Amino acid sequence: MGLRRIAGLAGGGIALVMLLGGCTVDDAFHFGWPKGGITPQSQRMYDLWIGSVVAAFVVGILVWGLIFWCIVRYRKKGDALPPQTRYNAPMEVLYSVLPFLIVAVLFYYTAIAQTYVNKIDPNPAVTVEVVAFKWNWQFRYLGQNGPDGQPVDTIGSTDYVPVLVVPVGKTIEFKQVSKDVIHSFWVPELLFKRDQIPGVTNKFQVKVEKTGAFVGRCAELCGTYHSMMNFELRAVTPENYEKFLAAKKAGKSTPEALEAAGEAPIAVTTDPFKTKRDARTTS
């Protein structure tokens, strides 16, 4: 089989995998991650991901190349053994040291990106307490009290997808708690998720750079309606955020407050699910 034929088969195989996986050419170049994300934190993780994939490809192509070269070059031509090169010290040193160097470089860049993503500013502009429960979310805007003296909040229900409103360009802290079992806060566009564990307060900070609506999900299997535990992250301008907060503090509901801020009143990225709690027959 000629080299051209092998290359053709390999190319066809890759194209088939992409086609059957429903990928576009554009998707393929992100190697399984959404484009850059919407925060500087996600951009760092995205760059790390792309760098790691490229490094893996370089190693992969080298290894595949050597394998195929051996297959072709040393295919059986007679009964004589090909030259044996055991105990080749330089070669053994090379293949011991090289993987160590690759791991060290990957470790270095991972540690840098991780430190950046986990960095906590002691004075975030906005702090939202994210309360997870079976099977929905509550978002409490700490330090922003309503008429009852409690932080204003939004709470999801079977027929209401909770909208988490944040301003762009500001440091936002999410304080994560759970009422019952382990859940996980995940907005795919943040390229990040973190568990919400009963009895533990996790936190992380982001700076959203792009206005828009982004779907959020629970990413830890938490029971029957886990798959329906969706929310929406709504990134708005700081002016609209202030209008939203002012309306909430005046006792308005979240859809009313969003409308007062000139925003779509309900979630636009996902819909409430039919829980079929009253279904009596299997469907």
Q: Which is nearer to Cu ion, 48 or 187 (CB)?
A: 187
**In the complex, least distance from residue 180 CB atom to Cu ion, rounded to whole angstroms:** 9
List the one residue out of 63, 56, 65 whose CA is nearest residue 3. 65
Taking CB under 5 A as the binding criterion, the range among 52-60, 99-107, 221-229, 244-252 that sits at the site for Cu ion is 221-229
Q: Considering the rule CB under 5 A, would residue 218 count as an interface residue with Cu ion?
A: yes
Q: Which is nearer to Cu ion, 11 or 223 (CB)?
A: 223
Q: Which is nearer to Cu ion, 40 or 272 (CB)?
A: 272
Interaction with Cu ion in 53-112: which residues (CB under 5 A)?
Answer: none
Q: Which is nearer to Cu ion, 125 or 219 (CB)?
A: 219
**In the complex, least distance from residue 197 CB atom to Cu ion, rounded to whole angstroms:** 11
**In the complex, least distance from residue 216 CB atom to Cu ion, rounded to whole angstroms:** 11
Q: Considering the rule CB under 5 A, would residue 183 count as an interface residue with Cu ion?
A: yes
Other C-beta atoms closer than 10 Å to the C-beta of 111 total 10
**In the complex, least distance from residue 223 CB atom to Cu ion, rounded to whole angstroms:** 7
Taking CB under 5 A as the binding criterion, the range among 36-44, 98-106, 117-125, 183-191 that sits at the site for Cu ion is 183-191
Q: Determine the Cα–Cα distance for residues 125 and 116; give it in Å rounded to an integer.
A: 18
Interaction with Cu ion in 11-50: which residues (CB under 5 A)?
Answer: none
Q: Which is nearer to Cu ion, 218 or 258 (CB)?
A: 218
**In the complex, least distance from residue 179 CB atom to Cu ion, rounded to whole angstroms:** 11
Q: Considering the rule CB under 5 A, would residue 229 count as an interface residue with Cu ion?
A: yes
Site mask for Cu ion (CB under 5 A), range 250-269, x = bound: --------------------
- Cβ atoms of 207 and 170 within 8 Å: the answer is yes
Q: Which is nearer to Cu ion, 46 or 186 (CB)?
A: 186
**In the complex, least distance from residue 175 CB atom to Cu ion, rounded to whole angstroms:** 17
DSSP string, the chain: --HHHHHHHHHHHHHHHHHHTT--HHHHTTTTS-SS-SSHHHHHHHHHHHHHHHHHHHHHHHHHHHHHHHHHHT---SSSPPPP-TT-HHHHHHHHHHHHHHHHHHHHHHHHHHHHHH---SS-SEEEEEEEETTEEEEEEEEEE-TTSSEEEEE-BTTB--EEEEETTSEEEEEEEESSS-EEEEEGGGTEEEEE-TT--EEEEEE--S-EEEEEEE-S--STTGGG-EEEEEEE-HHHHHHHHHHHHTT--HHHHHHHTTS-SS-SS--PPP--TT--S--
**In the complex, least distance from residue 222 CB atom to Cu ion, rounded to whole angstroms:** 3
Q: Which of 113, 163, 165, 222 binds Cu ion (CB under 5 A)?
A: 222
Interface with Cu ion (CB under 5 A): 183, 218, 222, 229
